[in-house]
Chains A and B, each alone.
Chain A
């Protein structure tokens, strides 16, 4: 794990104003700064006050490539950085990087190390670092980061939750062709606000890619409902009980749902979420059109 005295990559800084709090990348090279600014253009900020209250992430050079056992970086067959709590914070080991997050997510010192300069801004490195940070910080803010497709119709966010291969990306593609705005087809942030919940565009995308930056769009949308995806032979909607809804959402909260220090907070947040936002279960098959799905969903949510 990083000791703290490793050499940096340069003397540049880049501040990202994310919905879960600001992150300042320091000691990065000009090339790394340009790559990060390109990847996260809509979140770049130069606000000095924001910088002073940000998580400061010190970039550093690893002495050589990591030899991490891939078996340790897999959960249910999906690549997941290894996360261990220490006295200094939350230590992460991933493919090509080591990192440390502050134990409390909103402020403090973090670090992120790679062996090759270009690796830092790669999706396997910085994106995973930011995902884990957002998952912990989202909990502190009373919300949750959910594996889901966040789709916006008529200024309302519909959060489709499902495991990998549940059809999120296919649904996202259909919804986009149907005129929906896509927050993300992979991971979305829900935070409480004004008696309801808002879904935030956070810079994490899945197979659907980063094609929709919607820079002119709102940074967040009110959540109209949460839809638990289930592959089935036909189209149908059921209303799960609160416990079943919480269990389904809990499975879809990456990085924090098996962290014993976070489990109770996550359960608290999910209890409030399902008590506030209607949750339905959608049985569907790949052949269902977006019109059919949307009609079933909006009809069920209006009666939920």
Chain B
């Protein structure tokens, strides 16, 4: 896989566990003990991130699942990914994603 393409791929940290509860999701970070609740869209993104995925494919998946345009989906997704990154919930290397 080309390096640029590999760098674009994102995935969850292997230290994250998540559970769907109704329309929401519960995220547990095993290192910090932090527990976070995400809404339906957040849960969908988390489920997509269980395997490495490119940002473009992730945006498309959100667009396909929810009635939202690509620009809005990308903007909201980047905000959410920033939050996940801030909580250390994304894999540093997407070639070593969740187990």
- Spell out A's residues near B (CB within 8 Å): 75-76, 241-244, 246-248, 250-251, 257-260, 263-264, 267, 271
Contact = CB atoms under 8 A, between A and B. Distances in A.
A75 B30 CA distance: 13
B21 A271 contact: yes
Given A257-B28, A263-B28, A267-B26, A246 B21 contact: yes
Nearest to B28: A263
- The B interface is mostly helix, strand or loop, or mixed, namely strand
Name the residue among A244, A247, A250 with the largest chain B CB count within 10 angstroms: A247
Contact of A243 (B15, B22, B30, B33): B22
- The A interface is mostly helix, strand or loop, or mixed, namely helix
A260 B17 contact: yes
B74 interface: no
B22 to A, nearest CB: 6
B31 interface: yes
A195 to B, nearest CB: 21
A112 B48 CA distance: 45
Interface in B1-49: 15, 17, 19, 21-22, 24-26, 28, 30-31, 33, 35-37
Interface residues of B, number: 15
Nearest to A244: B37
11 contacts: A75-B33, A76-B33, A242-B21, A243-B21, A243-B24, A243-B26, A244-B37, A247-B37, A250-B35, A264-B17, A267-B26
Nearest to A263: B17
Contacts of A267: 17, 19, 26, 28
